[in-house]
Amino acid sequence: MRQVSRLTSILAASVILMLPLGKTFALAATGNAQTTGTTKQSAACTKLNNVLNTLNNNVNSRVAQITAQRQANAAKLAQNRSSWDSQIAAAQANWDNTRSQEFTALMQKATTSQEQAAVTAFENSIDAAVTARRTANENARDSYRSAVDAAIAANQAEINTAIANLQASYADAVTAAQTSCSSGTAYSSVATTLKASLQQAKATFVSSKPATGSLSTTVKSLAATKLAAEQTNDQTFKAAVNAAQQQLKTAFGGKSV
């Protein structure tokens, strides 16, 4: 589970996007107290042209941060996987060497052709059990990683959609405000309506993006599935080893070898 803990911490930062609107509201409200004449009304309406730029700049700045974090996460995830694979390969190579030495020592104990044949059969059975467990574990690990990658991609796609919808809602809100302002609606009313629309857009964004921690929860569930598969593989391996040991002991007349 050490690998899962590192993975969930890597992913934790990738689902957050906060978009402060305080300055934007202040910009939208500029001129409220003095929009009493046609000229001032027109000047106030013109200020709306800056609102959408400010909103988009806020969003784009946060998107750039998210993109950089995603790239860092992907690099860290790849590094962790490569490191884990190297550790597994080293452990397997060490075990293969130890097993080979034990087989050699076991064959030296065989004093008859029947015992030698039994040792060879035992070696073949153990090698087959080792290969089967490794293959099964590799399949479980590959399935886990593929599922994690799919979960990350789905999470990112959901965030991307929420951001795109947010920007579209911002654009609609500002366009509506510009139209209303140009038609003569008092700027104070326009600003109030715009502020409410922007707040609603942000609220919709917050409710539509993935919940904080949802990706980590998915990864932990996938890790539990992988662990269960590996435990089953271990049980199958132990059963095969026990059966091979029993056959070898029988061939040696019940003696411990």
Residue 16 has pLDDT above 70, yes or no: no
4 found inside a domain:
no
Q: Is it the case that residue 17 has pLDDT exceeding 90?
A: no
Q: Say which DSSP state 213 is in.
A: T
Question: What 3 state SS string does 92-161 have?
Answer: HHHHHHHHHHHHHHHHHHCCCHHHHHHHHHHHHHHHHHHHHHHHHHHHHHHHHHHHHHHHHHHHHHHHHH
| Number of domains comprising the chain | 1
Query: Which one-letter amino acid corresponds to residue 65?
Result: Q
What is the reported pLDDT for 234?
A: 98
How large is the average pLDDT for residues 175-193? 91
- Segment 34-57 mean pLDDT: 74
Residue span of the structural domain in which 179 resides? 15-251
In a domain, 231, yes or no: yes
* pLDDT (tens digit per residue) in 88-147: 999 999 999 999 999 999 999 999 999 999 999 999 999 999 999 999 999 999 999 999
The answer to the question of residue 93 being in a domain is: yes
Closest to 215 in 3D by CA, of 141, 165, 156: 156
- Whether 7 is covered by a domain: the verdict is no
Residue 136 lies in a domain: yes
Q: What is the mean pLDDT of the chain?
A: 87
Res 36 pLDDT > 50: no
